[in-house]
Structure 1
Amino acid sequence: MLVMPSPYVIETPGPTRNVLAESGKQSVMSITGGKTYRDKGSLLLVTVNAQGIPGYPVTNLQALASWFSRHADVLPREVIVPTGQTLDQYQKENKAEMSGSQKAAESQARAFLKTKGIDTSKYSISMHVDNIGGPSAGMMYTLGAIDLLTPQNESGGKTIAGTGTMDAAGKVGAIGGIRLKMLGALRDGATWFLAPASNCDEVVGHIPTGLHVVKVSTISDAYSSLVAIGQGKGDTLPQCTVSRQ
């Protein structure tokens, strides 16, 4: 029974990518049509690796061993993927979610920069990350575009990670796997982490030692927090607390 295929999915901290740098041989964010500015720090999008999804089966033994690891979550497969979904369908869904996330990020970055008096009409903005899907990088893509088109060194040279969806109103939405994403951020050198306010109940009690977490609700919150952290004022920013019903 232990070597039989398991009906569970095992999630672990996935790779991170600096949206201000390159992934493979391509820039994660490519902006042409005008002047861009280099930030000396890093803005990391974070991910989760999943085994047990279509095309990547795990055994009951692997699932059992992962139950006892603080670096893994074990979830019923139907929580992650619909029953009967194929690998091709899973990949297409993730690709579509990532594409939508990138379009929302570009739109919100342009809207935010317009409020700062920056005309982006002549700029072309494209985003590229291999083998990463889903919508959860929306906020970090938006911050990356804003950072590259403003002269300020927003990060102050720090490594700052974050996660959250981005909608058409500029709101940062909840994502899955935030506990594992915080572990991945710390592993890859981040000291600060921007988390959706709607994920705070999952953040409290799970913040790894050495990582400071700031809650954000909108892209305006996220950008203001990024600037404050870069200026050494991160300790003044709002932190996650457990909501009371």
Structure 2
Amino acid sequence: MPRRTATMLASTLILIALLCAGVLIPVPYSEMSPGPTVNTLGKVGGDPVLQISGHRTYKTSGNLNMTTVRVTGADYDMNLVEAVYGWLAHDSVVVPHDTLYPGGKTEEQSTQENAEEFSQSQESAKVAALTELGIPVTSRVVVSTVIKGSPAQGKLHAGDVIKAVDGTAVEQPEDVAKFVTKHKPGENVTFTVIPAKTAAAAEKAGKQPEGTEKIIITTKKAPKENRAIVGIQAGTDHTFPFEIDIKLADVGGPSAGLMFSLGIVDKLTPGQLTGGKFIAGTGTIDDQGKVGPIGGINMKLVGARNAGARYFLTPGDNCKAAASDTPGGLTLVKVKTIDDAKKSLEKIRVGDTAGLPSCSAG
């Protein structure tokens, strides 16, 4: 066989072997890509995303789109060829697997966590929107979860309203841990609570829950820490003056909070926030209306641009990353609160875009 032919054959075989290895050998990476966007003022599957009853609503127009990121599953084994392709592609990002699934988190655990965060973001969006409009919302501190095998198991239950700890009134969820850790492990702590069933019945009847019970729990030492615990997580529950339902399946995480809250505000107020324009955005939101950062900002920008958005409401803490790689034709608008977002929407509506707060890559 001529030397040139042998060399070409050997090179071809080596190339084939490398390609096979690239396809067969898994690498510890995952991929993020633009996910679907959903207009919070529109419908999904024929049903409005935001359904409000018991209060007057107003006609809306345009788009207030929430954005999402699509990620590979926890059990997906990416190969080297896929990783290289993802690194070269502009509309996807390859990241270390542990970035998306830290500590060996499973697909089931990630899905459950995302569902809980999504549910909480909906509650906070409702509270932030109504507070922005001056509509009162009743809030109370409750038992969110009881850890299995903890001192609180069988004594406290999810949904119990926590009124006081050791006789001191509880105002915020963090007060509970603060009061419990004043004790040493092995000491008793007294919870004053309204049982979950009593609270639920009162809420259904449109009344404030009454009728407290005192529950004594013996604390224990926290794992790997010398502090007292009882084994619960405290959270906040709200009673709304009318019904607000957010109908959106197959979405997780907290990042749609801002856009949900703006959609609620738009439906509950005369006029139209968008002026018929296509606006997308992202950002967590807390009960006070503060907008927080999210992950996958650049993929959300691509998804918004592809959907037709002209403006993108961007959390202040994500501005630098967003401004470093903004798709053409998309204007970033920096927001830190729901009030910031409303004021920017007013400027967009009347065409005063020169005064919009912008993002900088510097």
**TM-score, normalisation: structure 2:** 0.63
The CA deviation at 1:84 is 2.2
Distance 2:255 2:336 in 1: 14
Note if contact 2:282-2:314 (Cα within 8 Å) is conserved in structure 1: yes
Q: Which has the larger radius of gyration?
A: 2
Q: Give 1:6's aligned amino acid.
A: V
Match of 2:317 in 1: 198
What are the equivalent positions in structure 2 for 1:144-155 lying under 5 Å apart?
144-155=263-274
Distance 1:29 1:55 in 2: 34
Match of 1:9 in 2: 30
Match of 1:84 in 2: 104
Q: Which runs of 5+ in 1 are unaligned?
A: none
Q: Does 2:150 match 1:31?
A: no
Aligned positions, number: 239
Distance 2:359 2:29 in 1: 30
Q: Give 1:38's aligned amino acid.
A: K
The CA deviation at 1:160 is 0.2
Where 1:202 maps in the other structure, the secondary structure is helix
Match of 1:66 in 2: 86
Note if contact 2:86-2:93 (Cα within 8 Å) is conserved in structure 1: yes
Match of 2:74 in 1: 54
Note if contact 1:143-1:223 (Cα within 8 Å) is conserved in structure 2: yes
Where 1:83 maps in the other structure, the secondary structure is helix
Distance 2:357 2:274 in 1: 18
Match of 1:102 in 2: 122
Match of 1:220 in 2: 339
Where 2:250 maps in the other structure, the secondary structure is coil
* Post-superposition CA distance 1:88-107 (Å, at most 9, x none): 11110000010111110001
The CA deviation at 1:121 is 5.7
* Post-superposition CA distance 1:184-204 (Å, at most 9, x none): 101101001110111111012
Q: Give 2:105's aligned amino acid.
A: Q
Q: Which runs of 5+ in 2 are unaligned?
A: 1-20, 136-238
Distance 1:110 1:178 in 2: 27
* Post-superposition CA distance 1:12-65 (Å, at most 9, x none): 1110000011112332111111221121211100011101x3244432221111
Match of 1:231 in 2: 350
Percent identical pairs in the alignment equals 41
Where 2:30 maps in the other structure, the secondary structure is strand
Where 1:114 maps in the other structure, the secondary structure is coil
Distance 1:206 1:106 in 2: 32
Q: Which of 43, 68, 77 is residue 64 of structure 2 equivalent to? A: 43
Where 2:67 maps in the other structure, the secondary structure is strand
Note if contact 2:324-2:361 (Cα within 8 Å) is conserved in structure 1: no
Q: Give 1:241's aligned amino acid.
A: S
The CA deviation at 1:231 is 1.5
RMSD over aligned Cα, in angstroms?
1.7
Q: Which of 287, 293, 307 is residue 168 of structure 1 equivalent to? A: 287
What stretches of structure 1 move > 6 A for 4+ residues in a row? none
Note if contact 1:23-1:130 (Cα within 8 Å) is conserved in structure 2: no
